[in-house]
Amino acid sequence: MTSSAPALAKGEAKSELNDSLDTGAKKVFCVPEHTVEIIANSGEGAQKCGQIFGSVSAKMGNGVWTVEIIPAEIEPPPRHVTSTSGNLIRFGTEQITNWGDRTKLAVAFNEQVLLSRHRLDSLDDECIILVEDMWENHDDENIRKEWATAMEEMSSANYRIVKVPIEEESLKIVDNPHHGKNMFALGMLAEVYQRDLDLIKKQIANIFRRKPAKVTELNIALVELGIQWARENLDFQFDVPAKVHEEARVVMNGNQATALGAIAAGMEFCAMYPITPATSVSHELCDIIESYGGMVHQAEDEIAAAGVAIGASYAGKVALTVTSGPGMALKTEFMALAVMTEMPLVLVDVQRGGPSTGLPTKVEQSDLLAALYGQHGDAPRVVMAPATIEDCFQSMITARRIAETFRTLVIVLTDANLATGVQQFPRPQLDERWQEAPLDLSAVPEGTLPYDWDHSTGLSRRIIPGQANGQYTVTGLAHDEFSKVSYEPESNELGCNMRSRKLAVFQSTLKPPTVVGDEEGDLLIVGWGSTRGAIEEAVGRARADKLKVSSCHLTFMSPLEPGLKEIFSRFKRVMTVEINYSDRLGDPYITAENRRLGQMCWLLRAHTLVDIDCWTRVPGQPLRPGDIHNAIVSHLENGAAS
Amino acid sequence: MSVSMPSFLNCISDDDFAHYEVDDYQKCVAKWCSGCGDFGALNATKRLLAKEQLQPENTVFVSGIGCSSRFPHYVNSYGFHGIHGRALPIATGVKLTRPELDVFVVMGDGDCCSIGTAHWIHAIRYNMDMTVLLLDNNIYGLTKKQTSPTTPIGFSTNTMPRGSYLPPLNPLTATLGVSNASFVAQTADWIPAHMYATLQAAYEHKGFSFVRILQRCPKFTPDVFTDAVKNPDNNELLVHENGIDAPGLEKLFKNRIIHDPKDLDGGRHYAEVENRVRLGLFYRNGELPCYEDTREVVSVTAAEKIQKINTEFDRYAV
């Protein structure tokens, strides 16, 4: 199954592609989309290569979705299956909404990182693989053995393996191959996919703009060498046509979108503590927020970050705190205080795999119930989940508005998939009104109550220090309209009632969610958060096969959007698709009664009394549309997804 | 900042020039046990507010949870009665974003030195300009007599009925050991004049003014300071021309140590517990940077912000 470079693999050719590769003639395949990944030891720059490739593709007008492949450690041992670091880029003519199914072309700096991807079933059975050839005949016998064993293990697939002297070539330009192979690889990919070299050069120049000009020159020389090598040695190219977009567009990842959204929303204060995968939101903010008159405060711990944000909000600022699951767990007492004191606060939880330290760099949607119910006592709050990178931006504007209008805690649940996924979207139109301060310091009329609840809506006026006549003491204790500590039964009932009523009032402003596909049918798939693209792609495939499937994606989890029960009633079955744990029917001891369900599934069952099923997985990676499609087919055939 | 000084000045009203008497700072009647040391601290604080003519609307008292943390409910100002151990993060958020406000923090020994220790240590480092009162009665009062970090060794409580196992934590030496400590003083509820003078000095200091107030809990630790309360000779005052000035004490309190508050080593030495209770100013350094000054923000208009975000978008433009 392998062949030496430059000739391409000769194997059991099954596809047109494979046939043509055997002919030796340069052939250009026009495809609507392709998925490429570049993988290496951590520290070899594969991510940078992938980021540039993805960004250039987006700038050329392709729809793009990229996923970071990251080990948990900063510098894990080289040439090891646990050290795989890199980037996966799915790009196409149309908008790409998820990472798709499997990789069609991979560049690997060694066979071990390749093997890790093989074991994860990440590579298409007929994936073209451009792999560093120096290990096959390496001086070290162990390495030679590792190569042979890995190749043997991978021989079960029909990969087309092309061995490339990546390091040998790179050494023509640089002394240290660890700083250069990635650019050579980028050059190969640029040739294979006919990427715009000028855009690549600009991107490189931008990345190394703070370094001596020589660095940019060397990197570009490596790219050009990669292009030349691919031109002379590879006999295939792919054409993924790009579309010309009339409107201006931007390309960024979800954490960047969240950070820019926060600034566009007028958020002037972010308190945080470092935690993966949320930290890069604050990196973005730290970089620029001071020039907007705001600041990021890195607190001594997660708890303090929440407290400082609440203090800032109390002082009249638009405050934000950003964290991930374990951090949100630490903040819970303060979150309940924000609810009790009706302090506007936006908390972004970039979800990762749990419980405990779990999978710090990997995606999961397991914080939903914690976000909804993770407080002591009854602590109603708004919980929402962006589904796309663009949503990450817009959510921040929405979240601020809700937090202030309803004097409430708003939790925005993004996840590791959105955090690092890169996508292009229409350049947001900004509004100066978003920058307005919540309040000025005008005196309030004498006798103004700090909780002058409108008894029908629960809404009340916010007062901040500096406003004369407004002096009151906020307390986390049960309190009356005067913010006086009160243990009276009626007073506590009223406070609980008012805090809860606000959610119902907010819900009355929401529209029922859109059903994608027919308004009725055999199966409705319900999702939330970052799975939207994969779910809709899977449902689209099922519908193309004439299956009566539709989908519906929820943005708000608390309060839930209205009309769900009515929508569900139009489908014979309803099933959630989520990246969190659920027991599988058929497993030992698992019965329909004791089965633990996906988190949204629990919520919707309780809310609608509809017998909703779920199909959930916790692979530490985004769901694939192909797997969701299989679950849909299986559910329709068996009455349950397997 | 959205609330810039010009808009603040625009809303100056006649009230800003009103005169406040001590009683004007009284909100509602304090509900501490009779004989509680918290009353003394509250009275001294209200005197200070009147002396300084602090505007109630521009003054914020932040507290945690515990008997002493009810303090903000009893002061006519803005107040934030937070959660256990977390007064300092809330106060940090207030002061950092509204440095023009006068911020006071009131904590008990469990609040500050046990559940809130991390925040205490870091707040010292931030050195924000706030007056911080540790009302230390050596016990958890509100939850009814559990051992606190400052409970004397051997002292019997409901959680350590055979006596506290560990030597008490010394809040003074702990504070003096942290980088950026800028004001550390100790006073006691049995010498009101000293307490008032100490609060005055703390308020005047620009930085994190940490004042430990030794006080008796009439229910659970009525006798922990009896030696010092009953016999002035068991007290020792740190005095200096640049120290805390409490006139009239020299007749009664004859044990005096001349200690220059600039002398950190000396301050640390005197902060160690010995036979007598030492009261006074252990250390003061008004030259250390305050975090809110270091982090001062510029004023940017909405239009400028929109322009900047658009420039930012250009970096991400397709």
- What pLDDT sits at residue A76? 83
- What pLDDT sits at residue A73? 76
Average pLDDT of span A367-388: 97
Q: Determine the Cα–Cα distance for residues A465 and A468; give it in Å rounded to an integer.
A: 8
Q: Determine the Cα–Cα distance for residues A624 and A11; give it in Å rounded to an integer.
A: 28
- Of the candidates B81, B101, B299, the beta carbon closest to that of A465 is on B101
Q: CATH topology of A250-435 equal to that of A515-638?
A: yes
Helical (H) or strand (E) element with A105: strand A103-108
The CATH classification number of A2-239 equals 3.40.920.10
**What is the chain A residue with the closest CA to B97?**
A312
Per residue in B275-286, is it b (16+ CB within 10 Å) or e — as a string?
Answer: ebbbbbbbbbbe
Beta carbons of B119 and A245 less than 8 Å apart: no
Q: Which residues of A touch B8 (CB under 8 A)?
A: 441, 466
A515-638 sits in which CATH class? alpha beta
Q: Determine the Cα–Cα distance for residues B16 and B11; give it in Å rounded to an integer.
A: 10
Beta carbons of A311 and B303 less than 8 Å apart: no
Q: Which residues of B touch A257 (CB under 8 A)?
A: none
- Give helix then strand counts, H and E, for chain B: 11, 11
* DSSP SS3 for A616: strand
Q: Domain locations in chain A?
A: 2-239, 250-435, 439-509, 515-638
Instruction: Tell me which of B62, B312, B314, B315 to substitute to probe the interface with A (most A C-beta atoms closer than 10 Å).
Output: B312
Distance from CA of A574 to the nearest CA of B (A): 39
- Of the candidates B81, B121, B299, the beta carbon closest to that of A476 is on B81
- What pLDDT sits at residue A93? 96
**What is the chain B residue with the closest CA to A312?**
B93
Per residue in A398-426, is it b (16+ CB within 10 Å) or e — as a string?
Answer: bbbebbbebbbbbbbbbbbbbbbbbbbbe
The CATH classification number of A250-435 equals 3.40.50.970
Residue B2 resides in a domain: no
Residue B44 resides in a domain: yes
Judge contact between A110 and A138, C-beta under 8 A.
no
Distance from CA of B272 to the nearest CA of A (A): 27
Distance from CA of A195 to the nearest CA of B (A): 14
Tens of pLDDT, residues B175-185: 999 999 999 99
- What pLDDT sits at residue A602? 98
Q: Which residues of A touch B122 (CB under 8 A)?
A: 299-300, 304
Q: Determine the Cα–Cα distance for residues A293 and B281; give it in Å rounded to an integer.
A: 38
Residue B6 resides in a domain: no
Beta carbons of B97 and A317 less than 8 Å apart: yes
Domain count, chain B: 1
Beta carbons of A472 and B297 less than 8 Å apart: no
- What pLDDT sits at residue A2? 41
Residue B3 resides in a domain: no
Q: At A460, give phi and psi (nearest 5°).
A: -150, 165
- What pLDDT sits at residue A24? 55
- What pLDDT sits at residue A611? 97
Distance from CA of A344 to the nearest CA of B (A): 14
- Of the candidates A318, A442, A471, the beta carbon closest to that of B56 is on A471
Tens of pLDDT, residues A106-155: 999 999 999 999 999 999 999 999 999 999 999 999 999 999 999 999 99
What are the residues whose beta carbons fall under 8 Å from the beta carbon of A441, sequence distance 6 or more? A316, A464, A466, A467, B3, B7, B8, B11
Beta carbons of A249 and B78 less than 8 Å apart: no
Beta carbons of A304 and B306 less than 8 Å apart: no
- How many CA atoms within 13 Å lie on the side-chain side of A258? 36
Q: Determine the Cα–Cα distance for residues B11 and B8; give it in Å rounded to an integer.
A: 6
Domain range holding B89?
14-316
Residue B274 resides in a domain: yes
Distance from CA of A316 to the nearest CA of B (A): 8
**What is the chain B residue with the closest CA to A474?**
B80
Beta carbons of A465 and B58 less than 8 Å apart: yes
- What pLDDT sits at residue B17? 66
Average pLDDT of span B29-50: 96
Tens of pLDDT, residues A283-305: 999 999 999 999 999 999 999 99
Average pLDDT of span A173-191: 92
Distance from CA of B273 to the nearest CA of A (A): 29
- Of the candidates A307, A319, A424, the beta carbon closest to that of B89 is on A307
Q: Determine the Cα–Cα distance for residues A440 and A316; give it in Å rounded to an integer.
A: 8
- What pLDDT sits at residue A179? 80
Distance from CA of A432 to the nearest CA of B (A): 6
Q: How much of chain B exceeds pLDDT 90, in percent?
A: 90
Residue B8 has pLDDT above 50, yes or no: no
| DSSP symbols for B93-148 | HHHHH-TTSEEEEEEEHHIIIIITHHHHHHHHHHT-SEEEEEEE-SEETTTTSEE-
- Of the candidates A312, A337, A436, the beta carbon closest to that of B302 is on A436
Q: Which residues of A touch B72 (CB under 8 A)?
A: 473
- What pLDDT sits at residue A5? 37
* DSSP SS3 for A521: strand
- Of the candidates B11, B298, B299, the beta carbon closest to that of A442 is on B11
Position A15 confidence tier, pLDDT thresholds 50, 70, 90: very low
- What pLDDT sits at residue B273? 86
Tens of pLDDT, residues A321-360: 999 999 999 999 999 999 999 999 999 999 999 999 999 9
**What is the chain A residue with the closest CA to B103?**
A465
**DSSP 8-state assignment for residue A98:** S
**Number of CB atoms found within 10 A of residue A571's CB:** 23
Helical (H) or strand (E) element with A108: strand A103-108
Distance from CA of A191 to the nearest CA of B (A): 21
Is the C-alpha dihedral spanning A240, A244, A245, A251 positive or negative? positive
- What pLDDT sits at residue A319? 98
A139 burial via Cβ count (<10 Å: 0-12, 13-18, 19+): exposed
Written as six digits, the tokens of B182 are 């800028």
Average pLDDT of span B42-61: 98
Average per-residue pLDDT for chain A: 94
Residue B48 has pLDDT above 60, yes or no: yes
Per residue in A251-275, is it b (16+ CB within 10 Å) or e — as a string?
Answer: bbbbbbbbbbbbbbbbbbbbbbbeb
Q: Determine the Cα–Cα distance for residues B284 and B201; give it in Å rounded to an integer.
A: 10
Tens of pLDDT, residues B248-266: 898 999 999 999 999 999 9
- Of the candidates B7, B73, B83, the beta carbon closest to that of A333 is on B83
**What is the chain A residue with the closest CA to B116?**
A304
Judge contact between B71 and B38, C-beta under 8 A.
yes
Q: Determine the Cα–Cα distance for residues B219 and A508; give it in Å rounded to an integer.
A: 53
Tens of pLDDT, residues B107-155: 999 999 999 999 999 999 999 999 999 999 999 999 999 999 999 999 9
Looking up residue B82, the CATH number of its domain turns out to be 3.40.50.970
Crossing angle between the packed helical segments A197-207 and A46-59, to the nearest 10 degrees: 130
Q: How much of chain B exceeds pLDDT 70, in percent?
A: 95
Position A642 confidence tier, pLDDT thresholds 50, 70, 90: low
Tens of pLDDT, residues A488-517: 999 999 999 999 999 999 999 999 999 999
Helical (H) or strand (E) element with A335: helix A332-341
Tens of pLDDT, residues A62-77: 999 999 888 767 778 8
Q: Which residues of B touch A436 (CB under 8 A)?
A: 2, 302
Q: Which residues of B touch A396 (CB under 8 A)?
A: none
